[in-house]
Structure 1
Amino acid sequence: MAILPPGFISDRSGNFGIMTALLVVPLFGAAGMAVDFAHALSLRTQLYAAADAAAVGAISEKSGAVAAAMKMSGDGTISLGKDDARNIFTSQMSGELTDVHVDLGIDVTKTANKVNSLVSFSATMPTTFMRILGRDTVTISGTATAEYQTATFMDFYILLDNTPSMGVGATATDVATMEKNTSDTCAFACHETENKNNYYNLAKKLGVSMRIDVVRQATKELTQTAKTTRVSDNQFRMGVYTFGTKAEDAKLTTISDPTVNLDQVRTYTDAVDLMTIPRQGYNNDQQTSFDSALDQMKTIITTPGDGSTSATPQKILFFVSDGVGDSEKPQGCTKKLTGKRCQEPIDTSFCQPLKNKGIRVAVLYTTYLPLPKNNWYKDWIRPFQNEIPTKMQECASPGLYFEVSMTQGITEAMKELFLKVIRAPRITS
């Protein structure tokens, strides 16, 4: 019988080595797991960044997907957006990610006035240390989404006051030149057809710019602003109207019907000119009926939509005028009459029905110029001169009024007012 050494049973000095041997595999496995997971998390972060870039970039403002959505009449999938998202995602892959196979799920859709993108990814990453524990791979996955609200579709009906008062000199220098070169110190370039030596021809000879000349050019430039601002070629339609070509048949005249062909609108606008009159004092100078023009525009402009699609555009009346009405109006004139002749600031009761219909009214007031040397002005217009801008602003929808003096640029003023219209928040519910 063997005899054990004294204290053998109570001796524990070899336990550490035994325990270490038993724990070395799980310890190394745990350390390796931390390294592998840290690596996987790093790659996952990079893949999320690529997915985010793809989701946002595929439906950015100038993207093909948004342009396609603007042309769609209904909801649906936008295949072009899927291709763009995939290309953007791939372009973000660099370093070791270029060797990793990534399964992508991409969905780009239009619903009402919103474009949504969804980019999902899944990749299998090989492990290093975790293989000790029998884990050869780690799966990384995630999803990125983005939403873009499409630009508003709008129809612009541009109503230009081309009545005789818009024949006044465009600047103080132009006014002074006309007054200096006319026997009655007249600042208006009256377009008389029965007088070959009329002041309209004189203004042309002297190189004087009339207010109507500047408005015509500003309207043409506005079509260019709309072209460079639009997201798609069908976002804006424009139509141009005047108060008529001649006083003998003064009625609303269509220069250009509303169309997305803004180059055509620009070309047609060349036809805008000062209304002709047969002779001085024709029809008691009653050629400016805002009441009639606004009534007719209310009929021409159909019921507006919310602007979410090309089939439901918002409708905007873009009204450019010096704000003084002069027409036969024996009933309802807001100022004293001369017989049946009514000279007054714009009667805003004819603006309200347009707004009640849901039409937004943008008003550019080309400041009515004081003419202290003109007796007609002193007797009839000066008494209510200060009311003119107030009434013009009252005619406009909230925030869509702009006054431009003769020292300012009408072109820039029209552009600024246009941008205010298209950037105003849209109420959808």
Structure 2
Amino acid sequence: MKKLARRFSADRSGNFGIMTALLAVPVLGAAGMAVDFAHALSLRTQLYAAADAAAVGSVSEKSDAVTAAMAMKGDGSISLGKADAQKLFFAQMSGELSDIPVDLDIDVAKTTNKLNSTVTFSATVPTAFMQILGKNSIAISGTATAEYQTASFMDFYILLDNTPSMGVGATPEDVALLRNATKNGNKEGKDKDCAFACHIVSESGVEDKESYFYLARSIGATIRIDVVAKATEALMTTAKKSQVAPAQYQMAAYTFGKKSSDANLYTVSELTDDLTAVGEATKNITLMSIPSHNTPNNQTSYDNVLTSIEKKIPTGGSGMTKTDREKILFFVADGVGDSIKPTTCTKRLNGGKRCMEPIDTSYCQKLKNKNVKIAILYTTYLPLPENSFYRDWIAPFQSEIPQKMKECASPGLYFEVTPTEGISDAMNALFLKVIHRPRLTG
């Protein structure tokens, strides 16, 4: 017996089988754990996608939550957003997900001018292999967030330069067309070269059909003020489409005046939320009239017009409510002042009193000090090297013109239109830049 016992205890031939049997449970459990966890992670990823869609969709630009937030006077929770988020979340459930109970915690709330959506989910996923280890389920959870910056309530004061220099051809091709048509002057052989500006000649109310302005019309040349007028009308359509709340945007429109003998800020349209009416008013904007072709073009006083409009615009608000609106001066001009300014002109004087110079940005600063944003569309002042007046009086500071216009604008709100670009597209682009199209982040 002793010999048999020693032989049995020394025998190792069955150890592998015994060890395999002993390790089978933990090995299978570990493998099953990997499978079960991978399955749970896959479902969690799908639930995250559903939560992201719910969070973003509940505060999208055209959602009920955004509409409600724009109408709110203060901060608070938005029940419509919660209901939308829940619908959007469960709309993503399909296949295996539809059989898994999911708990949702949703919060959609406005804080100042931001709308935040938070979707938190939790669920229990049954296991398959891990049950042999006594683990019947795996808990999964996650949170998705989205933020929408509600668009501000804004008042736009559109200031359009309609002085004779805006009678320049809209493109180099138009400039060449006008120059060729006027190279011999008018019927008396005077006033050659309409390339510099095509004037409307009338101070009496009876327009002179001999004016180069009408000549431009007859030969099919487009001048800059025509393009600006059409672009301003089209801008109203963009503004209407961009609104996410009633009366979100109000517009007023002004020019530098109707005639040179009384060149003062002229109201084309008072401030109103009837954007269609503003469009109708602005499409008829035309050049300021002058008594004759020989009248010096000294009606572009940026100093005076900016001083006048500064008095029209109240101090800007936060834009968070209809009664606390942002104020924006939307300024379209070619950047060259031409006025009677004998003592403070920054460039040399013509005849001792006529001043041609870039815009004086100190007048822009007065508006900025009132929390008024200035958006500038600079309609590039085209070089006219064949014109002697241009060579003598404008060319010496040509390079300063865009620099000063950009300095006048509020940061990020400057746009230059080159001859190859469309003024209408540029005005729309600048407008959209001003209103800061709301963004979603999550």
Tell me the TM-score normalised to structure 2 length. Answer: 0.77
1:294: how far off?
0.6
Where do residues 9-408 of structure 1 align in structure 2 (5 Å cutoff)? 34=33, 42-123=42-123, 138=137, 140=139, 142-153=141-152, 154-170=154-170, 171-180=174-183, 182=186, 183=189, 184-187=191-194, 188-193=197-202, 194=204, 196-199=208-211, 200-229=213-242, 234-281=247-294, 285-334=297-346, 335-371=348-384, 374=387, 376-408=389-421
Amino acid at match of 1:417: L
Structure 2 alignment gaps of length 5 or more: 10-14
Q: CA deviation at 1:287?
A: 1.9
What letter matches 1:293 in structure 2?
A: V
Check whether the contact 2:116–2:146 (CA below 8 A) recurs between aligned residues: yes
Measured after TM superposition, the shift of residue 407 of structure 1 is 4.3
Q: Secondary structure of the equivalent of 1:186?
A: coil
Asked if structure 1 preserves the Cα contact closer than 8 Å seen for 2:166 and 2:334, the reply is: yes
Alpha-carbon shift at residue 417 of structure 1 (Å): 3.4
Q: Secondary structure at the match of 2:300?
A: coil
Give aligned-pair identity as a percent: 53
| Residue 367 of structure 1, CA deviation | 2.9
> In structure 1, what is the Cα distance between the partners aligned to 2:393 and 2:126?
90
User: Structure 1, unaligned stretches of length 5 or more?
Assistant: none
SS in 1 for 2:146: strand
Give the total of aligned pairs: 416
Distance 1:31 1:166 in 2: 81
Q: Secondary structure at the match of 1:332?
A: coil
Q: Partners of 2:2 and 2:407 in 1: how far apart?
A: 113
The whole-number CA distance in structure 1 between the counterparts of 2:52 and 2:438 is 27
Q: Give 1:179's aligned amino acid.
A: T
**1:356-385 CA distances to partner (integer Å, 9 max, x unpaired)?**
333232322223344456554454434444
- Map Cα deviations across residues 120-164 of structure 1 (whole Å, 9 max, x no partner): 3344666778889998x7584634231314144243322110012
Q: Is the 8 Å Cα contact of residues 108 and 117 (structure 1) preserved in structure 2?
A: yes
Distance 1:62 1:403 in 2: 32
Output the CA distance in 2 between the equivalents of 1:38 and 1:410.
57
Q: Deviation of residue 422 (structure 1)?
A: 4.3
Cα 1:89/1:192, change in 2 over 3 Å: same
Measured after TM superposition, the shift of residue 396 of structure 1 is 2.5
TM superposition shift of 1:213: 0.4
Report how far residue 52 of structure 1 moved.
Answer: 3.1
Instruction: Tell me the distance in 2 between the aligned counterparts of 1:421 and 1:177.
Output: 40
Is the contact between residue 232 and residue 283 of structure 2 (CA under 8 Å) also seen in structure 1? no
Using the alignment, how far apart are the partners of 1:130 and 1:230 within structure 2? 55
Change (3 A) 1:337 1:130: closer
Provide the secondary structure at the position in 1 that maps to 2:87.
Answer: helix
Q: CA deviation at 1:274?
A: 1.0
State TM-score, norm by structure 1. 0.79
Residues 9 and 309 of structure 1: CA distance in aligned 2, closer, same or farther (over 3 Å): farther
Deviation string, structure 1 residues 77-97 (Cα, Å, up to 9, x no partner): 222222221121111111133
Q: CA deviation at 1:54?
A: 1.5
Aligned-partner Cα distance in 1 for 2:59–2:236: 26
Instruction: Report the secondary structure of 2:232's partner residue.
Output: helix
Q: How far apart, CA to CA, are the structure 2 residues paired with 1:190 and 1:45?
A: 68
Structure with larger RCO (C-alpha < 8 A, sep 6+): 2
